Structure 1
Amino acid sequence: MEWTGARYADQPTVEVTTWVAAPPGKVWALVSDVTRMPEMSDELQSAWWTGGAAGPALGARFVGRNRHERFGEWETTSTVVTCDPERVFAWSVGDPAEPSAVWRFGLEPRGGGTELSQWMRMGPGRSGLSFAIDAMPEKEQKIVFVRLREFERGMTATLEHIKHRLEA
């Protein structure tokens, strides 16, 4: 993956993939349960459904509480924008019309198990990263690059946690 030169306005993306020795239904049950995702993430501390939602459904909303050593702690409200059971679970962070990010799990039956991918796109809406860029516009490309690398490492670790949990 090549991100050098990416600016926030370019809406850069990152994606990681792994194969899980479990059927898509079992993988789906885990990746679409946002309340369990903090168990598999260093940054996401807690998550809960809100606005009457009790589980994954198109338009359902959830709140996530995050922590990062450089950015501190914050909460975001996300909206499920794709909910295709055993295939795709995606959500936009913040305003669905102008999200600060979009995240997605993709599931594909393969080789008696599931090929699982996690993908994310920055922007186009403002995020916490926008404040760092505002303060140091000359370093925007480096700021974006470093954050994308952090996302890639975190997503790789999340998929490894999911794989380990489902294959145990």
Structure 2
Amino acid sequence: MEWTGARYSDTPTIEVRTWIDAPPEKVWALVSDIELMPEMSEELRSVAWLDGAHGPAVGARFVGRSEHEAFGKWETTSYVIECEPESVLAWAVQDPAEPSAVWRFRLRPENGGTELSQWMQLGPGRSGLSVAIDRMPDKEQKIVFVRLREFEQSITATLAQIKQRAEA
């Protein structure tokens, strides 16, 4: 697990890695099935492709609906910005030019299996976290730290579930 940044304007990131005893094509089948992700997430409630898309490709869009006890319910549209089967899948949330977040899975063959990492970046575009920071600017670093910890726990749990499913 790696962290960078302390303020929202620093576009802080977090990355978590795991090794999976399964080939990249099997892991890719799971990470590229975005409609499966709500089953592996505490916050994400549903995901659906838009514009007739049925899977990831650069430029494809999907809508995600999420819920968090402190932030309530919200909906975002994400844009696939990188897609190399069995290697990388990344998407920008809301505005691809100024995303509220960027998420990325990377797969790499390793030791007869797959190293899978999930990385995310907050900002630079505004998000629900920006509203909390606007209300309590003196607590910005704490707000960012707490949210990154939540993402770390969520990503760790998601990767564990992907690992379990891929190795089954």
Category of TM-score, reference length = shorter chain = over 0.9
1:59 is matched with 59
Q: String of CA shifts for 1:9-56, please: whole Å, max 9, x gaps.
A: 000000000001111011111101110111111111110100221111
Query: Using a 3 Å threshold, how does the CA distance of structure 1 residues 2 and 15 change in structure 2: closer, same or farther?
Result: closer
1:109 is matched with 109
CA distance in 1, matches of 2:111, 2:45: 33
Secondary structure of residue in 2 paired with 1:120 = strand
Displacement of 1:165 after TM fit? 1.0
2:47 is matched with 47
- 5 Å matches for 1:26-105? 26-105=26-105
Stretches of structure 1 that go unaligned for 5 or more consecutive residues are: none
Stretches of structure 2 that go unaligned for 5 or more consecutive residues are: none
Percent of aligned pairs with the same residue? 71
Q: CA RMSD in A?
A: 1.0
CA distance in 2, matches of 1:30, 1:48: 15
Secondary structure of residue in 1 paired with 2:59 = coil
CA distance in 1, matches of 2:52, 2:131: 32
Displacement of 1:57 after TM fit? 0.5
2:152 is matched with 152
Query: Using a 3 Å threshold, how does the CA distance of structure 1 residues 132 and 158 change in structure 2: closer, same or farther?
Result: same
Please say which of residues 48-57 and 137-146 is displaced more in the overlay: 48-57
CA distance in 2, matches of 1:48, 1:33: 10
Displacement of 1:154 after TM fit? 0.3
Q: Normalising by the residue count of structure 1, what TM-score does the alignment of the two structures yield?
A: 0.97
CA distance in 1, matches of 2:159, 2:10: 26
How many pairs were matched up? 167
Q: Normalising by the residue count of structure 2, what TM-score does the alignment of the two structures yield?
A: 0.97
List 4+ stretches of structure 1 deviating above 3 A. Answer: none
